[in-house]
Every structure is written in structure tokens, then in C-alpha cells.
């Protein structure tokens, strides 16, 4: 009887091991890039990045004090620019920009219907599928800052006069690093409201 029990146990163990699933394969690499760089998602292009480092109580001087590129370094000329950056971006600002960069990829990967419609209808009015990453850095600014702290938001910047071959404008994905170190990125409610308003404007201009 004991031998029969051992034989039965061995058979069950063998069957159980044969039924075990194969080792799980590693998950495929995420399409979301971690290092900031230009990209194209669903036909939308992220063309570059800019940092606005505010100091003290004075308004920033544009374009002299604006930093260009995803990782601005003092003295280096970023791609597409002709002058070297006057300073390096603070690590905290780069970290906030990276957070905004990831949020932008998720937003564009969802292919928002209203954004798509604006591009389709608004081409004749200067709306193109090009984005720019904008990061405000108030880490060295006075608190309160007299000119006011800019809101994290999505908006469209358009040239006053055409400058071919430059594009007529860019969608600005603007984030803000506050004096207390809070990194703010565009909120869903603001994005939706802005797209609604812009779509109405484009539709009425047809």
C-alpha cells in the first residue's frame, strides 16, 4: 500500500510540474522615453525646450536670459540656436522639465480628438502639430514674485509675421517650478478648456 501511495504521489508531482507555465517574458520596452529629446508621436513633433530662470524681483529678459535645449549648459550652443546659453539649468528645473516631458508624451499618445480637429481645420490659420517644452524656474525668485508666477498650461504661440521657413507657431507645454519646489504641469481642466476655446475660434473662422 505504501509503495502504491508513493507511486501515485510521484505521478501527481510529475503531472504538476509539466503543467507549470513557462517563465514570464520580460515586458516590452515602454514607448515613453525617459531621457528628454525630440520625438514624434501620432504625427505631433516635440521640437525643443526652453527654460525661463527667474531671479530676485525683476522680470526675466527675453531672449537674453532664456536657456535653450533639453539640458542647457552654460557656454554651449544648443541645436538650432546661434548663441551659447548664458547659464546652466538648475537640476531641480531639469527634473521638473522631465516630469512635464513624460506628461506630454502621455497626452499626445492619447491622440486628443479636439487637438486633432484644431490641426485639421486650423492649418490655414497657422496651427501646426509642433510642440515646445517650456519650464519656468522660480527657485531663485523672490517670494512673492512681483510680476506674478506663470501658470502651468497648454497654449499656442503664433508668430506675428510669417518667417518662412520657420513654422508659423508652436504649442507650448508650459510647466512651473515654484519657489517652494512644487513642480506643476498642465492640468486636464485647463487643457480641455483651452482646446474647447481654440476649436470654437477655428471653426468660426472657416
Tens-digit pLDDT profile for residues 59-94: 999 999 999 999 999 999 998 899 999 999 999 999
Please report whether residue 18 resides in a domain.
no
Please report whether residue 110 resides in a domain.
yes
The count of structural domains within the chain is: 1
- Band of residue 57 on the pLDDT scale cut at 50, 70, 90: very high
Tell me which residue range forms the domain holding 183. Answer: 35-204
Please report whether residue 19 resides in a domain.
no
Separation between Cα atoms, residue 149 and residue 144, nearest integer Å: 9
Please report whether residue 8 resides in a domain.
no
DSSP annotation of 136: E
Tally of CB atoms within 10 A around 132: 17
Please report whether residue 6 resides in a domain.
no
Q: Give the per-residue pLDDT at 33.
A: 73
- Band of residue 172 on the pLDDT scale cut at 50, 70, 90: very high
Please report whether residue 26 resides in a domain.
no
**pTM of the predicted model as reported, rounded to 2 decimal places:** 0.83
Please report whether residue 135 resides in a domain.
yes
Please report whether residue 54 resides in a domain.
yes
Cell of 34: 525617459
Amino acid at each position: 500500500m505504501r509503495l502504491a501511495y508513493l507511486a501515485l504521489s510521484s505521478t501527481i508531482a510529475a503531472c504538476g510540474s509539466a503543467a507549470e507555465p513557462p517563465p514570464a517574458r520580460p515586458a516590452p520596452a515602454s514607448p515613453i522615453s525617459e531621457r528628454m529629446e525630440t520625438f514624434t508621436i501620432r504625427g505631433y513633433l516635440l521640437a525643443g525646450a526652453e527654460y525661463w530662470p527667474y531671479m530676485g524681483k525683476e522680470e526675466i529678459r527675453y531672449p537674453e536670459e532664456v536657456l535653450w535645449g533639453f539640458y542647457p549648459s552654460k557656454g554651449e550652443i544648443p541645436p538650432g540656436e546661434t548663441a551659447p546659453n548664458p547659464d546652466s539649468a538648475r537640476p531641480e528645473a531639469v527634473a521638473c522639465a522631465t516630469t512635464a516631458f513624460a506628461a506630454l508624451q502621455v497626452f499626445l499618445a492619447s491622440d486628443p480628438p479636439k487637438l486633432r480637429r484644431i490641426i485639421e481645420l486650423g492649418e490655414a490659420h497657422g496651427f501646426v502639430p509642433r510642440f515646445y517644452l517650456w519650464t519656468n524656474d522660480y527657485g531663485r525668485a523672490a517670494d512673492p514674485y512681483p510680476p506674478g508666477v506663470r501658470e502651468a498650461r497648454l497654449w499656442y504661440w503664433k508668430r506675428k509675421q510669417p518667417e518662412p521657413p520657420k513654422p508659423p507657431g508652436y504649442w507650448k507645454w508650459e510647466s512651473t517650478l515654484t519657489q517652494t519646489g512644487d513642480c506643476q504641469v498642465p492640468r486636464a481642466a485647463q487643457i480641455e478648456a483651452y482646446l474647447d476655446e481654440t476649436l470654437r475660434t477655428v471653426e468660426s473662422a472657416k
